[in-house]
Amino acid sequence: MGPWAGDPPADPRYDPELLAEGDRRNVVDRYRYWRREAVVADLDRRRHDFHVAIENWQHDLNIGTVVRNANAFLAAEVHIVGRRRWNRRGAMVTDRYQHVRHHETIEEFAAWAGDRDLPVVGIDNLPGSRPLETTSLPRRCALLFGQEGPGLSEAARSACDQLFSIAQYGSTRSINAGVASGIAMHAWIRAHAGPPPA
């Protein structure tokens, strides 16, 4: 969007620099020209009851996609478990609007979730996992995803209160964590959220 046409709005949510120079950010139209802090504050009023966590032992490039999905589906927070650094390229700057918390270990994350009575729901095609397509996810939960390739670590599996798998019909053994996170978050949305605001 180019510079604001006409008299600028007096609303303090609007950023004078964006109004003058234009807004080229990847935000929905209702947030055009808003200050970043105003966007986050508005999102915080409406965030959903699910959290998203992903293990980061191998600097997985999917983490950025998980963060972007969490922003799209308005997760309460994203939790990075393991290495603090992660590749932000796939997030497409959405991490500026999404709360991201770091945990050194899966045990630390599980303790955090336990203190909040937040069930940890693992998403992985593991023996004993129940089909995601045949159940409703809990309204309050933390969806936990593993690394590309190995999936959830043994420690992460032990921390899960429930395990669900995503049905696959082709020849590949697995789908990547970025795709799996979008499918699982949308399953939560279908069960618990109404239509998005206009």
Could you read off the pLDDT of 90-119 as tens digits, one per residue?
889 999 999 999 999 999 999 999 999 999
| CATH architecture of the region 47-192 | 3-Layer(aba) Sandwich (3.40)
Model pLDDT for residues 9-67, shown as the tens digit of each residue: 999 999 999 999 999 999 999 999 999 999 999 999 999 999 999 999 876 678 999 99
Higher pLDDT, 88 or 17: 17
Question: Quick one: CA torsion of 115, 101, 85, 153, rounded to 10 degrees?
Answer: 40
At residue 193's C-alpha, the angle toward residues 189 and 196, to 5°, is 100
CB 132 within 8 A of CB 110: no
Model confidence at 198: pLDDT above 80: no
Backbone dihedral region for residue 117 (phi beyond 0: left; psi -120 to 50: alpha; all else: beta):
left
Q: Where in the chain are the domains?
A: 9-46, 47-192
CA-to-CA distance for 1 and 19, rounded, in angstroms? 10
Would you state the pLDDT for residue 112?
98
Query: pLDDT per residue over 153-188, tens digit each?
Result: 999 999 999 999 999 999 988 888 999 999 999 999
Q: Does 78 score more than 90 pLDDT?
A: yes
The whole-number pLDDT of residue 60 equals 66
